[in-house]
A and B are shown apart, each in its own frame.
Chain A
Amino acid sequence: MHKITYKREMAENTVCHFKVDAPRIARKAKPGQFVVLKANETGERIPLTMGGTDPSSGTIDLIFQVVGKSTALMRTLNVGDAFQDIIGPLGKPTHVENLGTVVCVGGGTGVAVMYPITKAYKEAGNHVIAIIGSRNKDLLILEEEMKAASHDLRVTTDDGSYGHHGFVTDVLKKILDEQKEVKLVVGIGPVPMMKFLCKLTKEYGVKTMVSLNPIMVDATGMCGACRVTVGGKTMFCCVDGPEFDGHQVDYDELVKRQRAYLKEEKDSMDRFKEIGR
Chain B
Amino acid sequence: MAEEKEKKEKAKVPRQKMPEQEAKVRAKNFNEVPFGYTPELAQLEAGRCIQCKKPKCIEGCPVEIDIPAFVKLILDGDFIGAARKLKERNSLPAVCGRVCPQEDQCEKVCIVGKKEEPVAIGRLERFAADWEREKGDILIPEKAPATGKKVAVVGSGPAGLTVAGDLILKGHEVTIFEALHKTGGVLIYGIPEFRLPKDIVQAEVNYLERLGVKVECNCVIGRIDTVDELLQEYDAVFLGLGAGLPQFLNVPGENFCGIYSANEYLTRSNLMKAYLFPQYDTPIALGKNVAVFGAGNVAMDSARTALRLGADTVRIIYRRSRDEMPARIEEIHHAEEEGVQFYLLTAPIRFLGDDNGWVTGVECLRMELGEPDESGRRRPVPIKGSEFQLECDMAVVAIGAGPNPLLPTTTPGLELNKRGYIVADLETGKTQKSGVWAGGDIVTGSATVILAMGAGRKAANSIHAYLMNR
Q: How far is the CB of A266 from chain B (nearest CB, A)?
A: 11
Which residue of B218, B285, B405 is within 8 Å of A221 (Cβ)? B405
Which residue of B254, B264, B267, B279 is within 8 Å of A234 (Cβ)? B254
Q: Is the CB of B272 within 8 A of A221?
A: no
Q: Is the CB of B268 within 8 A of A87?
A: no
- Is B294 located at the chain interface by the 8 A CB criterion? no
Q: How far is the CA of A85 from the CA of B271 in the complex (A)?
A: 14
Which residue of A222, A223, A257 is within 8 Å of B357 (Cβ)? A257
Q: Is the CB of A224 within 8 A of B248?
A: yes
Surface stretch bound by B, among A7-15, A40-48, A52-60, A140-148 = A40-48
Give the contacts of A73-121 with B (CB-CB under 8 A): 84-90
Q: How far is the CA of A25 from the CA of B254 in the complex (A)?
A: 34
Q: Is the CB of A256 within 8 A of B246?
A: no
Tell me whether A86 and B356 are in contact in the complex, defined as CB-CB below 8 angstroms, given that A218-B180, A220-B179 are known contacts.
no
Q: How far is the CA of A261 from the CA of B282 in the complex (A)?
A: 10
Q: How far is the CA of A54 from the CA of B451 in the complex (A)?
A: 44
Q: Is the CB of A224 within 8 A of B283?
A: no
Q: How far is the CB of A27 from chain B (nearest CB, A)?
A: 9
Q: Is the CB of B218 within 8 A of A86?
A: yes
Tell me whether A229 and B255 are in contact in the complex, defined as CB-CB below 8 angstroms, given that A89-B223, A220-B406 are known contacts.
yes
Q: How far is the CA of A68 from the CA of B40 in the complex (A)?
A: 53
Which chain B residues border A253 with CB–CB below 8 Å? 255, 357
Q: How far is the CA of A25 from the CA of B218 in the complex (A)?
A: 11
Tell me whether A38 and B267 are in contact in the complex, defined as CB-CB below 8 angstroms, given that A253-B255, A268-B278 are known contacts.
no
Interface of B is mostly: loop
Which chain B residues border A85 with CB–CB below 8 Å? 181, 217-218
Mask: chain A, 11-55; 1 = CB below 8 Å from B; 0 = not: 000000000000011001000000000100011110000000000
**Complex A-B, nearest 4 residue pairs according to Cβ-Cβ distance, in ascending order:** A256-B357, A264-B283, A223-B264, A260-B257
Q: Which residue on A lies nearest to B179, using beta carbons?
A: A220
- Is B277 located at the chain interface by the 8 A CB criterion? yes
Tell me whether A264 and B404 are in contact in the complex, defined as CB-CB below 8 angstroms, given that A28-B224, A89-B223, A234-B255 are known contacts.
no
Mask: chain A, 212-235; 1 = CB below 8 Å from B; 0 = not: 000001101111110101000010
Tell me whether A222 and B282 are in contact in the complex, defined as CB-CB below 8 angstroms, given that A38-B181, A260-B258 are known contacts.
no
- Is B263 located at the chain interface by the 8 A CB criterion? yes
- Is B69 located at the chain interface by the 8 A CB criterion? no
Tell me whether A42 and B280 are in contact in the complex, defined as CB-CB below 8 angstroms, given that A25-B224, A86-B218, A234-B254 are known contacts.
yes
Q: Is the CB of B281 within 8 A of A70?
A: yes
Which chain A residues border B248 with CB–CB below 8 Å? 224, 234
Q: Is the CB of B224 within 8 A of A69?
A: no
Mask: chain A, 255-276; 1 = CB below 8 Å from B; 0 = not: 0110111001101100100000
Tell me whether A257 and B255 are in contact in the complex, defined as CB-CB below 8 angstroms, given that A218-B180, A264-B283 are known contacts.
yes
- Is A193 located at the chain interface by the 8 A CB criterion? no
Which chain B residues border A45 with CB–CB below 8 Å? 181, 272, 282
Q: Which residue on A lies nearest to B355, using beta carbons?
A: A256
**Subset of 7 A-B contacts with CB under 8 Å:** A28-B225, A217-B268, A218-B267, A221-B406, A224-B263, A234-B255, A261-B283
Give the contacts of B122-161 with A (CB-CB under 8 A): none
Give the contacts of B235-277 with A (CB-CB under 8 A): 244-246, 248, 254-255, 257-258, 260-261, 263-264, 267-268, 272-273, 277
Which residue of B218, B254, B264 is within 8 Å of A217 (Cβ)? B264
- Is A184 located at the chain interface by the 8 A CB criterion? no
Q: Is the CB of A24 within 8 A of B272?
A: no
Q: Is the CB of B261 within 8 A of A224?
A: yes
Using A223-B261, A256-B357 as known contacts, list a sample of 19 further A-B pairs with CB atoms less than 8 Å apart, ordered by residue number in A.
A42-B279, A45-B282, A87-B181, A89-B223, A222-B246, A222-B263, A222-B267, A223-B263, A223-B264, A223-B267, A224-B263, A227-B255, A229-B255, A257-B255, A259-B356, A260-B357, A264-B283, A268-B277, A268-B283
Q: Which residue on B lies nearest to A40, using beta carbons?
A: B281
Q: How far is the CA of A25 from the CA of B224 in the complex (A)?
A: 7
Q: How far is the CB of B183 from chain A (nearest CB, A)?
A: 13
Tell me whether A44 and B223 are in contact in the complex, defined as CB-CB below 8 angstroms, given that A85-B181, A221-B404, A260-B258 are known contacts.
no
- Is B220 located at the chain interface by the 8 A CB criterion? yes
Q: Chain B: how many interface residues by the 8 Å CB criterion? A: 40
Mask: chain B, 220-235; 1 = CB below 8 Å from A; 0 = not: 1001110000000000
Q: Is the CB of B267 within 8 A of A44?
A: no
Q: Is the CB of B246 within 8 A of A224?
A: yes
Which chain B residues border A239 with CB–CB below 8 Å? 405-406
Q: How far is the CB of B283 from chain A (nearest CB, A)?
A: 4
Q: Is the CB of A256 within 8 A of B356?
A: yes
Give the contacts of B63-121 with A (CB-CB under 8 A): none
Q: How far is the CB of A207 from chain B (nearest CB, A)?
A: 25
Q: How far is the CA of A90 from the CA of B404 in the complex (A)?
A: 14
Which chain B residues border A264 with CB–CB below 8 Å? 277-278, 283
Which chain B residues border A218 with CB–CB below 8 Å? 179-180, 189, 267
Q: Is the CB of A221 within 8 A of B255?
A: no
Q: Which residue on A lies nearest to B261, using beta carbons?
A: A224
Q: Is the CB of A44 within 8 A of B278?
A: no
Q: Is the CB of B217 within 8 A of A24?
A: no
Q: How far is the CB of B178 from chain A (nearest CB, A)?
A: 10
Q: How far is the CA of A45 from the CA of B254 in the complex (A)?
A: 24
Q: How far is the CA of A191 from the CA of B261 in the complex (A)?
A: 24
Q: Is the CB of B224 within 8 A of A89?
A: yes
Q: Is the CB of B264 within 8 A of A224?
A: yes
Q: How far is the CB of B407 from chain A (nearest CB, A)?
A: 10
Which chain B residues border A70 with CB–CB below 8 Å? 281
Most chain B CB neighbours (cut-off 10 Å) among A25, A43, A253, A264: A264
Q: How far is the CB of A262 from chain B (nearest CB, A)?
A: 9
Which chain A residues border B272 with CB–CB below 8 Å? 44-45, 217
Which chain B residues border A234 with CB–CB below 8 Å? 248, 254-255
Q: How far is the CA of A223 from the CA of B272 in the complex (A)?
A: 13
Which chain A residues border B189 with CB–CB below 8 Å? 218, 222
Most chain A CB neighbours (cut-off 10 Å) among B189, B255, B260: B255
Which chain A residues border B280 with CB–CB below 8 Å? 42, 44
Q: How far is the CB of A89 from chain B (nearest CB, A)?
A: 6
Which chain B residues border A222 with CB–CB below 8 Å? 189, 244-246, 263, 267, 404
Q: How far is the CA of A265 from the CA of B285 in the complex (A)?
A: 12
Q: Is the CB of B283 within 8 A of A265?
A: yes
Most chain B CB neighbours (cut-off 10 Å) among A89, A90, A220, A268: A220
Most chain A CB neighbours (cut-off 10 Å) among B181, B225, B246, B248: B181
Q: How far is the CA of A213 from the CA of B180 in the complex (A)?
A: 20
Q: How far is the CA of A31 from the CA of B102 in the complex (A)?
A: 50
Which chain A residues border B283 with CB–CB below 8 Å? 44, 261, 264-265, 268
Q: Is the CB of A271 within 8 A of B278?
A: yes
